[in-house]
Amino acid sequence: MLDIRFVRENPDVVRQNIRNKFQDEKLPLVDEVLKLDERNRQIKQEVEALRAEKNKTAKMIGQLKAQGKHEEAEEVKRKVSESDSRIDELSAEETQVEAELRKIMLTIPNIIDPSVPIGKDDSENVEVERFGEPKVPDFEIPYHTDIMERFGGIDLESARKVAGNGFYYLVGDIARLHSAILSYARDFMINKGFTYCVPPFMIRSDVVTGVMSFKEMDEMMYKIEGEDLFLIGTSEHSMIGRFIDTIVPEGDLPYTLTSYSPCFRKEKGAHGKEERGVYRIHQFEKQEMIVICKPEESMDWYDKLWRYTVELFRSMDIPVRTLECCSGDLADLKVKSVDVEAWSPRQKKYFEVGSCSNLGDAQARRLQIRVKGEKEKYFAHTLNNTVVAPPRMLIAFLENNLNEDGSVNIPEAIRPYMGGMTRIEVKK
């Protein structure tokens, strides 16, 4: 959410930012905000003037009574009563105007960083850099669920009976590999100086609207019937929500946190052929990294975070690339974002395995996460990044470490978490 003073002083900047995000339908909202803001300030000024006049007038009542001027005193009391009625009327209007103003402000997108490429959607995202040499082996690589089935590692049919499409059972060595990757990612981030956390897996509606846009909320979140609770789509939601309505000492920053959680997502929309199996699912587990810092440090942290993900994947012999998200592909709260994509030898292309985002002060402003500086309080900046999300990560892992005989190599970094195994063998 933008600062209303910024919108008031820079309406053309806000309008151009909306155009850059190809959300022209939101352009009239700027004029609505300016109109509501002006009315809000008028109300406050009138209320302040009425209260000052009321206090001044109220002092006259006692003086008039002391002088025996009872009729004049009653007339003054009548005027005070009229002022009270008008103040109550204006206060009710003020509450209504501020609620409408906040509702609209929550839908106006954050100002994107000048470095963000302008484009309509993810088809116009820009490749930044590649890490590792993408290879295609001489032998055919099966679909990822077929690889897992060779190890007796996945049961989609039973999951459909139990929970429906978009769910899965992982079994045996594949289930162990799933947990091993999460454990390795946890320790990887702890070794980078991050504090490990396990957060609540449900959050209240005020936290939901604090961490994401209404559009994201509708597309992602599962609501708990009869409760003011939602299942989290990523641990970032509850981790940032942890700091709601807090004032953080500047000397305590930055907070660098890495969190584990299951994630629950509706995953609306059509799913293509390549998005079967465990690529696009309703439930998965993830290791996340979150940073809360001073505004001037957020871009440095942004670069550090995505580089951590690249380093993690390269330690497992998986080639990756980074893709700068264009303006039209940025969620409304994001200032800048980069996707990390892993190489798929089977598809002979890269696919998304993580996303790093700088949200500026958008979440902090919505949740009132402030920093107590030497001279004044200000809003913190928040960032998040995927360390690893194993179901999708497993696809990249299995394809890039697959041998012609069907076995899968276990990179050295993962072996301690797999009981020393060097490879997973096909089940007979």
Domain parsing of the chain, residue ranges: 4-105, 122-424
pLDDT tens for residues 164-176? 999 999 999 999 9
State the pLDDT at residue 85: 84
Mean pLDDT value of segment 190-211:
97
| Nearest-angstrom CA–CA distance, 425 and 143 | 17
pLDDT tens for residues 151-164? 999 999 999 999 99
State the pLDDT at residue 105: 96
| Nearest-angstrom CA–CA distance, 23 and 215 | 13
Q: SS3 of 36, please?
A: helix
CB 87, CB 51: distance < 8 Å: yes
State the pLDDT at residue 207: 96
User: Which of 174, 208, 391 minimizes the C-alpha distance to 282?
Assistant: 391
State the pLDDT at residue 78: 73
Q: How does strand 230-231 pair with strand 202-203? A: antiparallel
Q: For domain 4-105, give the CATH superfamily.
A: Serine-tRNA synthetase, tRNA binding domain (1.10.287.40)
Q: SS3 of 418, please?
A: helix
The arrangement of secondary structure in 122-424, i.e. its CATH architecture, is 2-Layer Sandwich (3.30)
Tokens of 302: 């942004």
State the pLDDT at residue 61: 61
State the pLDDT at residue 370: 98
| Nearest-angstrom CA–CA distance, 349 and 344 | 5
**Which of 77-91, 189-203, 214-228, 323-337 is predicted least confidently?**
77-91
Type of residue numbered 166: G
| Nearest-angstrom CA–CA distance, 371 and 247 | 5
Q: How does strand 246-249 pair with strand 222-223? A: unpaired
pLDDT tens for residues 276-310? 788 889 999 999 999 999 999 999 999 999 999 99
State the pLDDT at residue 58: 67
Fold matches, 4-105 and 122-424: no
The answer on pLDDT for 398 being more than 50 is yes
Across the chain, mean pLDDT equals 93
| Nearest-angstrom CA–CA distance, 25 and 109 | 12
State the pLDDT at residue 270: 47
Higher pLDDT, 27 or 213: 27
**Which of 12-16, 21-25, 36-40, 212-216 is predicted least confidently?**
212-216
- Write down the residue that tokens 């007339």 correspond to: 75
Mean pLDDT value of segment 80-86:
80
Higher pLDDT, 122 or 59: 122
pLDDT band of residue 65 (cuts 50, 70, 90) is low
Phi, psi dihedral angles at 83 (to 5 degrees): -65, -40
The answer on pLDDT for 415 being more than 50 is yes
Q: How many helices (H) and strands (E) does the chain have?
A: 13, 18
Q: Among the residues of 297-343, which ranges form H helices? A: 298-314
